[in-house]
Amino acid sequence: MNAYPASVDVAIVGSGPTGATYARILTERAPHATIAMFEVGPTVSQPPGAHVKNIEDAEQRTHAQRRSEGPGAGSATVNSPGAVRSGERRARPGTYLLADGFQADGEDGLPVVAFSSNVGGMAAHWTGACPRPGGSERIGFIPDMDELLDDADRLLGVTTDAFDAAPFTSLVRERLAAVVDEGRDEAARVQRMPLAVHRREDGRLVWSGSDVVLGDVTRSNPGFSLFDESLVTRVLVEDGRAAGVVVRDLSTGDEHEIRARVVVVAADALRTPQVLWASGIRPAALGRMLNDQSQVVYAARLRDVDPPREDQIAASGALSEQSGVSWVPFTDDMPFHGQIMQLDASPVPLADDDPVVPGSIVGLGLFCVKDLQWDDRVEFSDSELDSYGMPAMRVHYRLTDRDHDVLDRARAQIVELARAVGEPIGEHPFTMPLGASLHYQGTTRMGETEDGRSVCGPDSEVWGVSGLFVAGNGVIPTSTACNPTLTSVALAIRGARRIASALAYV
Ligand code: FAD
């Protein structure tokens, strides 16, 4: 049973990296503020929010993943993009799928749209790729974006050198660069992928989750508390201002009202609009402009390479399914983002008498931009409920002719990249089922002005409801192909700084 406070300065809904960003920045900038964070899922790792890949015991790691799968716990999962080729509708470990409502008749839908319900959210399970947006991915009306991205790197503990000692990483980048780099600005050339990971002195990798974003400074803040297994059913609004939240303690089923001066909803790109809808906050753009990054994957094998030395194999990182990640940045001319990972095993079976040189299998993935559409949306029901008792979701989603064109170009490009790297594995690239990117955006989008096409302003405060902030990938208004979390954390930093300066004057 949770012992909730009667009132706090700031209530945060959701404990993923963007909710954690609000807690961290407020701790740093408004140290006397009281902050309560509510998370519907359980605590599955220590410190709370830590990445499950840091759990060394395989059984305990699997247990932590299972406990993050909310209503989907117990369902079969797939481990790698390659395994998704089976064509079955399965979630990745640590996530669960929508049981229904993922595809309307005659539409493409998002068949594998997924969620995580645990302290730390999806970032207890993520790959940690933290590229910066470029070209049209960037939000034109946020002038301080570069400084915010720098601070987001700090909070997420982003590094670029964790895999430098791993085998063949420079070779892979050189081969990719030979077909990609010509005519590109330096920032858009092939390079190491910035990753939210660091190496301990003993060589082990430590993947960042919300625990790193919170940091010791937040954990030791006496004004900060985190309540798990606590579902926020609605935000209280009085006289056009956020006034608190209603929380259901899942251990007792009892509901509690907690008063707050400011409420931040950071409950992922589908559940943040769900909480707003359930609270009667329903701006026209809520849930709309939903976008996901279509994804194409392929693999290649480096040939004629010497087996790596023992120390290089160790340096590739125990407890990691990958040993190096390279980045082919998005450009407006080539509107996809390349995440190239050296894998410890082939995604498709290889002949028994053809042993794999560790680090020589290269998994290629291209994420595509979406042609944003007002009608692509998540709707919420006034009568049906989901398994948490929240308004049931129904996804409407279609690929346009432009989307199909970009996908065709991505398929051609990935074949070119695979051939440049080595010998392609398999005859054709594979197009992942929609929703597989796990990068859903646009549903609580930010706008420069209150023009009816956005949900919040440049500081993430919801238009027309002062003191209510939204956070997460849903806030991103542009069509991005790069992994979005760094950008969402940067936008959350901006919102949190705004709250911190406002709290200083009340
Ligand atoms: P989340 O991390 O989803 O957290 C939201 C939290 O809110 C959840 O814990 C949820 O349980 C909670 N919640 C929801 N509703 C309520 C409610 N009503 N009351 C209380 N709590 C609620 N992104 C990248 O940028 N790079 C990558 O390399 C990458 N790889 C990924 C790989 C995998 C396998 C997965 C699963 C995700 C990956 N992602 C990646 C996506 C990334 O994890 C998300 O972008 C990021 O976690 C979003 O942060 P968030 O705080 O907005 O939401």
| pLDDT tens figures, 164-221 | 888 889 999 999 999 999 999 999 999 999 999 998 888 888 999 999 999 999 999 9
DSSP one-letter code for 306? P
Rounded to the nearest whole angstrom, what is the distance from the C-alpha of residue 424 to the centroid of ligand 1?
Answer: 33
Of the given ranges (160-174, 308-322, 488-502), which has the lowest mean pLDDT? 308-322
13 Cβ closer than 6 Å to some ligand 1 atom: yes
95 Cβ closer than 6 Å to some ligand 1 atom: yes
Distance from C-alpha of 480 to C-alpha of 171, rounded to nearest angstrom: 28
Query: What's the pLDDT band for 309 if we cut at 50, 70, 90?
Result: low
DSSP one-letter code for 410? H
Ligand 1, closest atom to CA 117?
A: 11
DSSP one-letter code for 405? H
Which residues, 6 or more positions from 164, have their beta carbon under 8 angstroms from its beta carbon? Answer: 192
Rounded to the nearest whole angstrom, what is the distance from the C-alpha of residue 440 to the centroid of ligand 1?
Answer: 10
Which helix H or strand E contains 29, and what residues bound it?
helix 17-29
pLDDT score recorded for residue 70: 93
Burial (Cβ within 10 Å: 0-12, 13-18, ≥19) of residue 150: middle
- As given in the structure block, the two tokens for residue 304 are 């004629």
Distance from C-alpha of 149 to C-alpha of 504, rounded to nearest angstrom: 24
If you search the block for the tokens 């498709």, which residue do you land on? 348
Ligand 1, closest atom to CA 41?
A: 11
**Atom 10 of ligand 1, nearest CA residue:** 117
Rounded to the nearest whole angstrom, what is the distance from the C-alpha of residue 118 to the centroid of ligand 1?
Answer: 9
Rounded to the nearest whole angstrom, what is the distance from the C-alpha of residue 487 to the centroid of ligand 1?
Answer: 13
Ligand 1, closest atom to CA 472?
A: 52
User: Which of 37, 122, 207 gets mutated to test ligand 1 (max ligand atoms within 8 A of its CB)?
Assistant: 122
Distance from C-alpha of 488 to C-alpha of 472, rounded to nearest angstrom: 5
121 Cβ closer than 6 Å to some ligand 1 atom: yes
38 Cβ closer than 6 Å to some ligand 1 atom: yes
Rounded to the nearest whole angstrom, what is the distance from the C-alpha of residue 363 to the centroid of ligand 1?
Answer: 23
Burial (Cβ within 10 Å: 0-12, 13-18, ≥19) of residue 397: buried
235 Cβ closer than 6 Å to some ligand 1 atom: no
Q: Of all residues in the chain, what percent are helix, strand and coil, respectively (each to 5)?
A: 25, 25, 50
318 pLDDT above the threshold of 50: no
Distance from C-alpha of 434 to C-alpha of 382, rounded to nearest angstrom: 26
C-alpha distances out from residue 36 to 79, 260, 275, 279, Å: 34, 9, 17, 19
User: Which of 96, 113, 485 gets mutated to test ligand 1 (max ligand atoms within 8 A of its CB)?
Assistant: 485
**Atom 52 of ligand 1, nearest CA residue:** 472
Question: Which residues of 81-223 form beta strands (DSSP E)?
Answer: 96-97, 114-115, 191-192, 197-199, 205-207
Distance from C-alpha of 257 to C-alpha of 259, rounded to nearest angstrom: 6
Ligand 1, closest atom to CA 92?
A: 34
Query: What's the pLDDT band for 315 if we cut at 50, 70, 90?
Result: low
Residue 94: beta bridge partners? none
Q: Is residue 373 helix, strand or coil?
A: coil
pLDDT score recorded for residue 191: 97
Distance from C-alpha of 14 to C-alpha of 483, rounded to nearest angstrom: 20
Query: What's the pLDDT band for 287 if we cut at 50, 70, 90?
Result: very high
pLDDT digits (tens, 9 = 90+) for 235-273: 999 999 999 999 999 999 999 999 999 999 999 999 999
Cis peptide before 222 (omega within 30 of 0): no
Q: Half-sphere exposure (CA, 13 Å, Cβ side) for 387?
A: 13
Which helix H or strand E contains 216, and what residues bound it?
helix 210-219
DSSP one-letter code for 456? B
Rounded to the nearest whole angstrom, what is the distance from the C-alpha of residue 14 to the centroid of ligand 1?
Answer: 9
**Atom 45 of ligand 1, nearest CA residue:** 485
21 Cβ closer than 6 Å to some ligand 1 atom: no
Which helix H or strand E contains 318, and what residues bound it?
none
Residues 453/105, Cβ–Cβ less than 8 Å: no
pLDDT score recorded for residue 319: 38
267 Cβ closer than 6 Å to some ligand 1 atom: yes
Distance from C-alpha of 11 to C-alpha of 157, rounded to nearest angstrom: 25
C-alpha distances out from residue 419 to 27, 208, 300, 340, 477, Å: 50, 33, 7, 13, 35
Rounded to the nearest whole angstrom, what is the distance from the C-alpha of residue 17 to the centroid of ligand 1?
Answer: 7
Distance from C-alpha of 443 to C-alpha of 266, rounded to nearest angstrom: 12
456 pLDDT above the threshold of 70: yes
494 Cβ closer than 6 Å to some ligand 1 atom: no
* Domains of the chain, earliest start first: 7-503 (3.50.50.60)
**Atom 14 of ligand 1, nearest CA residue:** 267
pTM (two decimals): 0.96
112 Cβ closer than 6 Å to some ligand 1 atom: no
End-to-end CA distance of the chain: 32
CA triplet 363, 365, 366: central angle to 5 degrees? 155
pLDDT digits (tens, 9 = 90+) for 138-155: 999 999 999 999 999 999
53 Cβ closer than 6 Å to some ligand 1 atom: no
Ligand 1, closest atom to CA 95?
A: 36
Distance from C-alpha of 439 to C-alpha of 187, rounded to nearest angstrom: 23
Sign of the torsion formed by the C-alpha atoms of 468, 220, 129 and 74: negative
68 pLDDT above the threshold of 90: yes
Ligand 1, closest atom to CA 70?
A: 11
Distance from C-alpha of 396 to C-alpha of 108, rounded to nearest angstrom: 8
416 pLDDT above the threshold of 50: yes
Rounded to the nearest whole angstrom, what is the distance from the C-alpha of residue 69 to the centroid of ligand 1?
Answer: 12
pLDDT > 90 fraction of the chain, expressed in percent and rounded:
84
Rounded to the nearest whole angstrom, what is the distance from the C-alpha of residue 185 to the centroid of ligand 1?
Answer: 32
Measured in whole angstroms, the distance separating CA 461 from the mean position of its chain's CA atoms is 21
117 Cβ closer than 6 Å to some ligand 1 atom: yes
Task: Tell me which residues are annotated as active site.
Answer: 439
- As given in the structure block, the two tokens for residue 236 are 């209280």
pLDDT score recorded for residue 307: 76
pLDDT digits (tens, 9 = 90+) for 345-379: 666 666 666 777 777 899 999 999 999 999 999 99
Burial (Cβ within 10 Å: 0-12, 13-18, ≥19) of residue 268: buried
Residue 456: beta bridge partners? 446, 462
How many residues make up the chain in this entry? Answer: 506
437 Cβ closer than 6 Å to some ligand 1 atom: no
Of the given ranges (92-101, 138-147, 314-323, 415-424), which has the lowest mean pLDDT? 314-323
What is the average pLDDT across 281-301? 97
Which helix H or strand E contains 165, and what residues bound it?
none
